Amino acid sequence: MTEANYTDIAYETIDSAAVITLSRPKQMNAITAHMGIEVRHALARAEDDKNVVGIIITGAGKAFSAGADMKALQQIGQAGGLDEFNKNKQHNESELHANPGNLDVPEGFSKGTYSFFASISKPIIAAVNGPVAGAAMSIILSADMRFFGTSGFVTSSFPQRGMVAELGISWVLPKIVGPDNALDILWSSRKIFGNEAKELKLATRVYPDEDLLEESVVYINHLAENCSPVSIATMKGQVYRDLFRDPTESFKEAHRITKAALKTEDFIEGVKSFMEGRKPHFPRIGRD
Amino acid sequence: MTEANYTDIAYETIDSAAVITLSRPKQMNAITAHMGIEVRHALARAEDDKNVVGIIITGAGKAFSAGADMKALQQIGQAGGLDEFNKNKQHNESELHANPGNLDVPEGFSKGTYSFFASISKPIIAAVNGPVAGAAMSIILSADMRFFGTSGFVTSSFPQRGMVAELGISWVLPKIVGPDNALDILWSSRKIFGNEAKELKLATRVYPDEDLLEESVVYINHLAENCSPVSIATMKGQVYRDLFRDPTESFKEAHRITKAALKTEDFIEGVKSFMEGRKPHFPRIGRD
Amino acid sequence: MTEANYTDIAYETIDSAAVITLSRPKQMNAITAHMGIEVRHALARAEDDKNVVGIIITGAGKAFSAGADMKALQQIGQAGGLDEFNKNKQHNESELHANPGNLDVPEGFSKGTYSFFASISKPIIAAVNGPVAGAAMSIILSADMRFFGTSGFVTSSFPQRGMVAELGISWVLPKIVGPDNALDILWSSRKIFGNEAKELKLATRVYPDEDLLEESVVYINHLAENCSPVSIATMKGQVYRDLFRDPTESFKEAHRITKAALKTEDFIEGVKSFMEGRKPHFPRIGRD
């Protein structure tokens, strides 16, 4: 995966973390089709980079993302729907073509606009630094964890725009906050800020705004120093496959995977380092 | 749906809300077969009424509902079971016959005694004003949200009566509070009051008793003023279908529904009103 | 089920509770294959004993369990995997052979190393008195409820050892704490103590350390004095079958089971005792 000049996002690495920043600050980082393509490319790049153990997605300036770009949406409405709208556009995105996602997860995840995050073999943290509206909810719900700044908030906006629950949000959200809170969030569109988000379990963590990015990097660094990247990837796949699977299938797979893990170098090093009272050294995932 | 004289419930509209009150106060609003028929009729009436955006179910006096009527239950036991008991009764309920539920949800929901609430195309809030015992738990668990007064509480009572988890409670409750808390609630029958209910996520909200009904109406009014009723109905169907569905199916449906929504008048009005900085005007569901 | 001399656990009854204590205190109660066989035998004994209404599993001394025995694990690694390791061992465990589990639950549960707890017809409480590491997480996650002492904590340790999510943990844990918290717990291996565990819903209850065992016994005694053991067993089976089942199937089963319950002696006694304002008397499960 080569470097690329992004226009709608920024990409950098800090310590063991890749930081992808949605970056159209004048439009509150509203999502465009092109931004989606860049995010996908950047995730492939991070997955492929041996120095990267985990990925952080955040927003430039005061917003995370205002959701779908309203001007684009209005044009879509005026054009009579999405297909007609797309006919009027030409993308030449071949330079940004990417095919990330090494984990085996259900097709619904791997082929979804953002839900393919589940197939990325490295942890993805959404660092929610400001408003997350509409379709942008799918970005943070597709991340493995959601770290909120206290000023970060979610607002669905769907029924205010005559829209529906896009991109699988109606599947994921009730599994995180329960069906009643999911309907409340989707319907009322009231703003759920960091502390309430933590209470509702929508936020995995909440931090003071000024510490949000640093704490996210610290989290990834902790994994980098202590964990087998292969273990992390394997367990991520297990959790997403298990979200909708017969327990019998899951338990059988766990048995098979555990037996296989017992034969790996990572397991031998993991036990050895523990017995010797030192930190383990595990190989990274990706290329130099 | 014409008006009807109810004996076991009361029905009124307040602003944009229909309020259905279980009303056998001397029996702590204990459930009878007839009450169930009246609730069904009243829900059809509310679903059919253009002025109604959401529905509130509450109890008359100090109780929400004591559950199945104990005298009826004892007669059922003495008669040797439910079928035998019913043979001894004649209902002529044709006047109250109703067939509510415009949403497409799994048969288990749409045909269940109270779980058919999931198929009603308008939000249903259980306003828990007092004790909810036994089978009445199914009423509040079938509602989309549960607003508790601080004195509202749940007590299962099933194992004290030699009963089991009726009416799908064993399916729904663990998805709201987790399997361990579900078993604790079902087994111990200890009283879970408003504040603890909120902590366990059994309550969506908790309010001082004296504000409970008003806050429930305020919530419905908020939806009435800001939301597309069609969006609300569509998202309700999505959430209930998604409670047990392969994510791949769900994500495909979301894609299809989103594309369809982009062509609706509600979507055009939703985006237009946003760009113009005014409240949207959406058509209501039902008849004048 | 006859008595047996256990080496790796202790077994006693206190009031209506059977208390199974993992007991290799010098090894922090690390799990051995033999300990697993003894736990299984002890559960069969408790299920079979009419005096026992519920079961408590706890650890001797300051730990609950350190997980798989590290020395055994190292030998497994050196032997080139589990099968090879087992070839080098001979167990003659026929004396401890047992076949507990009267409830009909999915095969994944009933055949799992600890997940068969779901098939035991009596409540199982994990009394978490200290650290629970690695594979020992499966013991407490297979229990029906988790009561933590404030010093009790969980730490996954899997990625530090190059391991994966063993024994179905990746299936169960997200259903209790949500997928994001499950990944956080599995990946970071940070210690989740009693109070945070309660917040995350990993703990059903949290008590001061010195009250933990007594409160667990009090809970079982409460069930013994007030509940039909058959109702408790039936509802346990309902909840575990319903964790992954089409709601339509579940609601039909609930209807069938409820009708059957209405014909039982326990139901008649349950209603009668209520009408007479006295405690019910229900027959116990098991043999004298």
Task: Identify whether C280 is part of a domain.
Answer: no
Residue A282 lies in a domain: no
Mutate one of C262, C263, C278, C284 to test the B interface: name it (highest B CB count within 10 A): C262
pLDDT above 90: residue B288: no
> What is the average per-residue pLDDT within C255-275?
92
pLDDT for residue C95: 81
Per-residue pLDDT of A125-148, as tens digits, reads 999 999 999 999 999 999 999 999
Within a 13 Å sphere around the CA of A222, how many CA atoms are in the beta-carbon half?
11
| pLDDT at residue A4 is higher than 90 | no
Domain check: are B161 and B22 in the same one? Answer: yes
The pLDDT of A88-106, averaged and rounded, is: 77
Residues A56 and A154 in one domain: yes
- Residue C73: per-residue pLDDT: 73
Domain assignment of residue C124, yes or no:
yes
Whether the predicted pLDDT of B10 surpasses 80: yes
Give the structural domain span for C57: 9-222
Which residues have a Cβ under 8 Å from the Cβ of C58 and sit 6 or more positions away? C19, C20, C21, C22, C64, C126, C127, C128, C129, C212, C213, C216
Chain A: closest CA distance from residue B38 (Å): 25
The DSSP bridge pattern shows strands C131-133 and C17-22 to be: unpaired
* Residues of chain B neighbouring C223 (CB-CB closer than 8 A): 159, 187-188
Question: Is the pLDDT higher at A288 or at C178?
Answer: C178
Confidence band, pLDDT 50/70/90 cuts, at residue A112: confident
Write the pLDDT tens digit of every residue in A15-38.
Answer: 999 999 999 999 999 999 899 999
Which of these, A248, B66, B162, B77, lies nearest to C235 by C-alpha position? B162
Residue % of chain C over a pLDDT of 70? 93
Same domain, B55 and B187: yes
Edge-to-edge strand ranges of the sheet holding C124-128: C9-14, C17-22, C54-59, C124-128, C145-149, C205-207
Tell me whether residue C286 is in a domain.
no
Which pLDDT does position A173 carry in this prediction? 97
In-domain check, residue A49: yes
The more confident residue out of B81 and B27 is: B27
In a domain, B218, yes or no: yes
Please check whether residue C254 lies inside any domain of the structure. Answer: yes
**Do C153 and C126 contact (CB within 8 A), yes or no?**
no
What is the length of chain B?
288
Residue predicted with more confidence, A55 or B275 = A55
Quote the tokens at residue A35. Answer: 């931004």
pLDDT at residue A79 in the model: 67
Say which CATH number the domain at C99 has: 3.90.226.10
The answer to whether C120 and C100 are in contact (CB under 8 A) is: yes
Query: Given a cut of 90, is residue B249 above it in pLDDT?
Result: yes
What residue spans of C26-150 are helical by DSSP H? 33-48, 70-79, 82-87, 107-110, 136-142
Q: A216 with A241, same domain? A: no
Whether residue C268 sits in one domain with residue C199:
no
What are B166-188's pLDDT values in tens digits?
889 999 999 999 999 999 999 99
| Residue from A164, A175, A176 whose CB has the most chain B CBs within 10 Å, to mutate | A164
* Residue B90 pLDDT greater than 50, yes or no: no
Flag whether A280 is in a domain: no
Q: With 80 as the cut, is the pLDDT of residue B91 above it?
A: no
Q: Please state the rounded mean pLDDT for residues C194-200.
A: 98
User: Do B13 and B86 have their domain in common?
Assistant: yes
Residue indicated by tokens 């052979």: C97
Per-residue model confidence as pLDDT tens digits over C81-115: 555 555 555 455 678 889 899 999 998 899 888 99
Q: What is the mean pLDDT of residues B254-266?
A: 92
Q: Which of C232, C257, C264 sits opposite B159 (nearest CB)?
A: C232
Q: How far apart are CA A217 and CA A208, in angstroms?
A: 15
Give per-residue pLDDT as tens, C102-161: 999 998 899 888 999 999 999 999 999 999 999 999 999 999 999 999 999 999 999 999
Domain count, chain B: 2
On whether both C240 and C261 belong to a single domain, the answer is yes
Q: How far apart are CA C156 and CA A256, in angstroms?
A: 19
Nearest-by-Cβ selection for A263 from C81, C164, C189? C81
Judged against a pLDDT cut of 90, whether residue C3 lies above it is answered with no
Residues B234 and B104 in one domain: no
Residue window 220-249, chain B: list those with CB within 8 Å of chain A. 222-223, 226-228, 230-232, 234-236, 238-240, 242-243, 245-249
Q: What is the pLDDT of residues C167-183, one digit of tens each?
A: 899 999 999 999 999 99
Q: Which of A228-232, B148-152, C166-170, C232-236 has the lowest mean pLDDT?
A: C166-170
Model confidence band, residue A288 (pLDDT cutoffs 50, 70, 90)? confident
Together in a domain, B89 and B198: yes
The answer to whether residue A64 scores a pLDDT higher than 70 is yes
Cβ contact C179–A227 (<8 Å): no
Contacts of C78 in chain A (CB under 8 A): 268
Same domain, A90 and A178: yes
* Mean pLDDT for the stretch of residues C229-233: 97
Residues C179 and C263 grouped into a single domain: no
User: Per-residue pLDDT for A90 more than 50?
Assistant: no
| B171 and B203 assigned to the same domain | yes
Exposure class string for C72-81: b at 16+ Cβ within 10 A, else e: bbbebbebeb
